[in-house]
Amino acid sequence: MILTLTEAEKRAVKIWAESNIHGGHWGDFDIIVPEEEIILKKLDNTKDNKISINEIEARIILGWSDSTLGIHTMEEASVIKKIKSVLGMNTGMRHLE
């Protein structure tokens, strides 16, 4: 899957990653799993702001987005929408009745 991210969107993903990797998804240890490292390298080496990701990497990024506790900047919301779109997930908002 190809995902096109602006520089601001890439920064948002890196902030999520930092929060999750160094912020304690493994407790007090700074452990990075290979998939996470691959995603970060891909973000740093994009050409034309396009990144090739697979489904597992897309889901990891969505997991990272949970670090914002549901409060997203425009860039963050845009990344989430783009990832859900490439995964074929519903991007609409649910309304309570």
DSSP 8-70: HHHHHHHHHHHHHHTTTTTTTS----HHHHHHHHHHHT-BTTEEE--HHHHHHHHHHHGGGTT
CA distance 67 to 90: 21
Domains in the chain: boundaries: 2-49+68-86
Tokens of 39: 């995603």
Phi, psi of 83 (to 5 degrees): -65, -45
From first to last of its 97 residues, the chain has per-residue pLDDT tens of 999 999 999 999 999 998 887 765 555 556 678 899 999 999 999 889 999 999 999 999 999 998 777 788 999 999 999 999 999 986 554 433 3
**Across-strand partners of 51?**
3
CA distance 25 to 49: 28
